[in-house]
Amino acid sequence: MKIDIISVVPALLDSPFAHSIMKRARDKGLLEVNCINLRDHTTYARAQVDDYAFGGGAGMVMMIEPLVNAIESLQKDTFYDEIIFLTPDGEPFNQQTANQLSLKKNLLLICGHYKGVDQRLRDHFITREISIGDYVLSGGELAAAVLVDAIGRLLPGVLNDETSALTDSFQDNLLAPPVYTRPVEFRTWKVPDILLSGNHAKIEQWRHEQAIQRTEERRPDILGRE
């Protein structure tokens, strides 16, 4: 899978994909991530990419022209399954969307900045708008990093058995059950006996019950969700 990201601050994306599971995915050739500097595609003086909002009001707006230049130059080589704009007024990102997007071949992510982008870009180029939560970030880069991470770890071959995504929280509309490792006892706090019993059927049943209990307590809204 290839994910291209258009940004005015590409340096923000240097680190998130250079370590751990994302690094492994890239090293194995399962995930390609390219960051494109929007300022390389503007024809305006001093690499300008934003301007005042028509009608007045505080905050700059990203101009359509540099973004279209960047998108169309990338489209010469790549057909994108989705062109995604990261924005707080987009559809809320969740595991189901991550699962869906992990099946695509090429994605283009566009990171917003300032007061947003000229609506005409959204009307004519963007195929999907995604928010990572009900709060406002300074720009879309951290949101793009969240998408790439959540999607990248689902690609076949990226995770091994021990880290399998199938047992993640949210995959079956349940939060993950509690986990324990050595030592068996720390400051009188013991690992539940059932986990030391060696009875795998009982352990699975316990984990399932714990997952349901945890979800009922913490996120009753996701139980039974489609």
Residues that bind ligand ADE (CB under 6 A): 86-88, 112, 131-133, 135-137, 140, 143
The DSSP bridge pattern shows strands 185-186 and 50-52 to be: unpaired
Please, which residues bridge with residue 111 across strands?
Answer: 86
Nearer to ligand ADE, 14 or 134 (CB): 134
Q: How far is the CB of 1 from ligand ADE (least distance, A)?
A: 20
Nearer to ligand ADE, 85 or 177 (CB): 85
Nearer to ligand ADE, 53 or 195 (CB): 53
Residue 111's alpha-carbon distances to 67, 91, 135, 164, 219, in angstroms, are 10, 15, 15, 29, 30
Residue 196's alpha-carbon distances to 77, 180, 185, 200, 206, in angstroms, are 55, 10, 12, 10, 12
Phi, psi dihedrals of residue 24, rounded to the nearest 5°: -60, -45
Nearer to ligand ADE, 113 or 153 (CB): 113
Q: How far is the CB of 87 from ligand ADE (least distance, A)?
A: 5
Q: How far is the CB of 93 from ligand ADE (least distance, A)?
A: 8
User: What's the number of CA atoms in the CB half-sphere (13 Å) around residue 93?
Assistant: 24
Nearer to ligand ADE, 2 or 128 (CB): 128
Q: How far is the CB of 110 from ligand ADE (least distance, A)?
A: 10
Q: How far is the CB of 73 from ligand ADE (least distance, A)?
A: 23
Q: How far is the CB of 215 from ligand ADE (least distance, A)?
A: 24
Sheet holding 2-7, edge to edge: 32-37, 2-7, 106-111, 82-92, 128-131
Please, are residues 85 and 147 in contact by the beta-carbon 8 Å criterion? no
Nearer to ligand ADE, 83 or 143 (CB): 143
DSSP state of 138: S
